[in-house]
């Protein structure tokens, strides 16, 4: 929350020199800042400082970016840490600045990003986040962890000296994250890595070797394939919930729950349905508006979350399983290569109400996809039942009925309306066909106003007078009836 003190450092190598200018870089950082500010509804932003001198590392680019011996791709893990460690060390030496005044560090290096260029000697953009060390420090204390890492292998020593620092008064200090991006990267990659620096994980699937194996949440988050859309897609609702930017409702009883689409600064934004101690469902709604304007369509997304995982790793329980409401479509996906099919098929993953949604969407290369959202409900393996009862795209409101015992209960509606003057509303319209004759029946409800208040007084006085006259007669009748009989012996 609040300002994120961020240091931006530019580095180059003995063989590859930086071509970007500080002005262009500042433009990029401002894009990141605006994205985070919008995504957090103004709760979080970057308070950044760009170190104006370019740091030159002592080795060539391939030294830091080349794959491990025997590997075809990726960066050698030790060299990848050394790259960050060297940069921080040289920054501290050359600037004489106190690094503990910052929470995040963004390293922008000369040359390309292997994840984009596929050139093995380029440096894979990444982020070293201190979340793991933070929890170790919470348990054992800073000094114990500092000493322990110092006694370990070289990579742990460098990891320590990259993230663990001391304030001028000797106080312990932990950076939140150190991200690496290439000068050739789009700003959306810097946003993705910065989101890691705020301790948010990737939502794509990893292979066992630690690199991307394919998509899971597709274009629906900047932590999967969203950065490649124009404009880059917002951070998903679940990650925003972890960041403390949105409010959610937890389902304890069956009912209809209303949430707002993620682009609106109105709460709540999500629904949590607990499953057990480690898992829950997370539901949120989206529409192609604002930071989400490049999305293929509107709808409700369902995540199944395992809170003890920090990645989706092939062959292991996933951190986030993304439900695809309309699997095996769009049909255009059939022409995709195997690894890209999941990404393509989740273009129409959202659930939508009974009115269904149809639209067309084009990707960055202009390919057309037909998006048909035809599914409104899902029954889970635990026996829960969820149904989108209404999706109001204009208002950005989704209503979702949740039943924990799987029963589909009818919606109970309480409608309160303040009516002035005569008011007619169409209750429903039915169309019936008898052979060649089509009959449309429109049922309307008309509400007429009560008489104005002075009329009520008029009626009221007439009523009072009438009651008075009737009472008078009744009293007379009773009087007569109650007259005592005449005395016999007068
Ligand atoms: Zn990532």
**In whole angstroms, what is the distance from residue 41 CA to residue 47 CA?**
16
Give distance in angstroms: CA of 306 to centre of ligand 1.
18
CB 224 within 8 A of CB 349: no
Predicted pLDDT at 458: 62
Cα of 127 from ligand 1 centre, angstroms:
7
Element (H, E) at 87: helix 77-95
User: Ligand 1 centre and the CA of 199: distance in Å?
Assistant: 11
Q: Ligand 1 centroid vs 193 CA: distance in angstroms?
A: 6
C-alpha 169 – ligand 1 centre gap (Å): 35
| pTM to 2 decimal places | 0.82
Lookup: tokens for 70: 């025997």
CA Rg value for the chain: 33
- Residue 202 Cα to ligand 1 midpoint, Å, equals 5
194 CA to middle of ligand 1, Å?
A: 9
Tally Cβ neighbours within 10 Å of residue 465.
Answer: 10
How far, in Å, is the centroid of ligand 1 from the Cα of 223? Answer: 6
Give the Å distance between the CA of 228 and the centre of ligand 1.
13
| Residues 6+ positions from 66 with CB-CB distance below 8 Å | 75, 76, 79, 120, 121
Ligand 1 centroid to Cα of residue 128, in Å, is 10
For residue 180, the CA-to-ligand 1 centroid distance in Å is 11
Asked if residue 274 lies in contact with residue 280, where contact means CB atoms within 8 angstroms, the answer is: yes
Residue 296 pLDDT level (bands cut at 50, 70, 90): very high
Question: Domain ranges in the chain?
Answer: 1-199, 203-414, 422-485
> 212 C-alpha to center of ligand 1: Å?
9
Mean pLDDT of 339-356: 95
**How far lies 334's CA from each of 262, 326, 337, in Å?**
31, 14, 8
Phi and psi for 370 in degrees, rounded to 5?
Answer: -95, 120
CA of 201 to the centre of ligand 1 (A): 7
How many whole angstroms from 313 Cα to the centroid of ligand 1?
A: 13
Residues near ion ligand 1 (CB < 5 Å) are 202
Provide the pLDDT for residue 412: 45
Residue 197 above 60 pLDDT? Answer: yes
Q: Which of 4-8, 146-150, 202-206, 469-473 has the lowest mean pLDDT?
A: 469-473
Determine the distance separating the centroid of ligand 1 and the alpha carbon of 163, expressed in angstroms: 18
- Give me ligand 1 centre to Cα 197, in Å: 10
CA of 210 to the centre of ligand 1 (A): 11
Q: Supply the mean pLDDT for the chain.
A: 90
- Torsion on CA atoms 157, 161, 162, 165, rounded to nearest 10: 150
Q: pLDDT tens digits, residue range 205-245?
A: 998 877 778 999 999 999 999 999 999 999 999 999 999 99
CA–centroid distance, 211 to ligand 1, in Å, is 10
For ligand 1, the distance from its centroid to the CA atom of residue 74, given in whole angstroms, is 14
**Dihedral sign for Cα atoms in the order 115, 117, 119, 121:** negative
Q: In what helix (H) or strand (E) does residue 453 lie, and over which residues does it extend? A: helix 453-481
CA of 62 to the centre of ligand 1 (A): 22
Per-residue model confidence as pLDDT tens digits over 247-277: 999 999 999 999 999 999 999 999 999 999 9
Q: How far, in Å, is the centroid of ligand 1 from the Cα of 126?
A: 6
Span 1-199 CATH architecture: 3-Layer(aba) Sandwich (3.40)
User: What digits encode the pLDDT tens for the residues 395-437?
Assistant: 999 999 999 987 765 444 445 566 667 777 776 666 655 666 6
The first and second tokens of residue 230, run together, are 């124009």
Distance of CA 196 from the midpoint of ligand 1 (Å): 7
Q: In this model, does residue 140 exceed pLDDT 70?
A: yes
Mean pLDDT of 305-314: 94
Distance between Cα 458 and ligand 1 center (Å):
76
216 alpha carbon – ligand 1 mean position (Å): 13
CA of residue 279 to ligand 1 center, whole Å: 23
């Amino acid at each position: 929350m609040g300002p994120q003190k961020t240091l931006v450092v530019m580095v180059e190598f003995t063989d590859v020199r930086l071509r970007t200018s500080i002005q262009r870089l500042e433009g990029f950082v401002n894009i990141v800042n605006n994205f985070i500010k919008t995504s957090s509804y103004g709760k979080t932003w970057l308070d950044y400082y760009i170190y104006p001198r370019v740091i030159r590392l002592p080795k060539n680019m391939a030294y830091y970016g080349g794959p491990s011996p025997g590997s075809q791709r990726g960066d050698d893990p030790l060299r990848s840490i050394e790259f960050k460690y060297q940069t921080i060390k040289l920054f501290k030496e050359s600037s004489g600045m106190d690094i503990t005044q910052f929470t995040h560090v963004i390293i922008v290096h000369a040359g390309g990003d292997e994840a984009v260029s596929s050139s093995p000697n380029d440096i894979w953009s990444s982020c070293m986040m201190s979340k793991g060390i933070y929890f170790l420090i919470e348990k054992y204390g800073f000094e114990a962890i500092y000493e322990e890492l110092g006694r370990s292998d070289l990579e742990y020593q460098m990891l320590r000296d990259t993230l663990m620092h001391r304030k001028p008064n000797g106080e312990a200090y932990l950076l939140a994250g150190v991200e690496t991006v290439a000068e050739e990267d789009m700003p959306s990659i810097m946003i993705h890595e910065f989101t890691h620096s705020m301790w948010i994980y990737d939502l794509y699937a990893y292979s066992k070797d630690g690199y991307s194996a394919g998509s899971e949440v597709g274009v629906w988050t900047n932590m999967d394939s969203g950065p490649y859309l124009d404009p880059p897609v917002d951070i998903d609702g679940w990650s925003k919930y972890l960041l403390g930017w949105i409010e959610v409702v937890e389902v304890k009883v069956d009912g209809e729950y209303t949430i707002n689409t993620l682009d609106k600064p109105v709460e709540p934004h999500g629904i949590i349905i607990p499953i057990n101690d480690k898992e829950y469902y997370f539901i949120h709604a989206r529409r192609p508006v604002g930071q989400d304007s490049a999305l293929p369509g509107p709808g409700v997304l369902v995540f199944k979350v395992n809170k003890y995982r920090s990645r989706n790793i092939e062959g292991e329980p996933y951190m986030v399983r993304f439900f695809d409401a309309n699997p095996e479509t769009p049909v255009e996906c059939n022409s995709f290569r195997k690894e890209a099919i999941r990404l393509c098929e989740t273009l129409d993953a959202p659930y939508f109400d009974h009115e269904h949604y149809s639209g067309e969407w084009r990707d960055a290369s202009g390919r057309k996809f037909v998006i048909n959202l035809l599914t409104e409900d899902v029954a889970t393996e635990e026996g829960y039942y969820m149904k989108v009862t209404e999706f109001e795209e204009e208002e950005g409101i989704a209503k979702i009925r949740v039943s924990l015992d799987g029963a589909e209960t009818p919606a109970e509606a309480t409608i309160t309306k303040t009516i002035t003057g005569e008011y007619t509303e169409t209750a429903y319209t039915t169309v019936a066909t008898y052979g060649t004759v089509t009959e449309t029946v429109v049922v309307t409800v008309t509400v007429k106003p009560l008489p104005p208040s002075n009329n009520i007084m008029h009626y009221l006085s007439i009523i009072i007078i009438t009651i008075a006259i009737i009472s008078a007669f009744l009293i007379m009748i009773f009087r007569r009836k109650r007259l005592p009989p005449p005395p016999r012996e007068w």
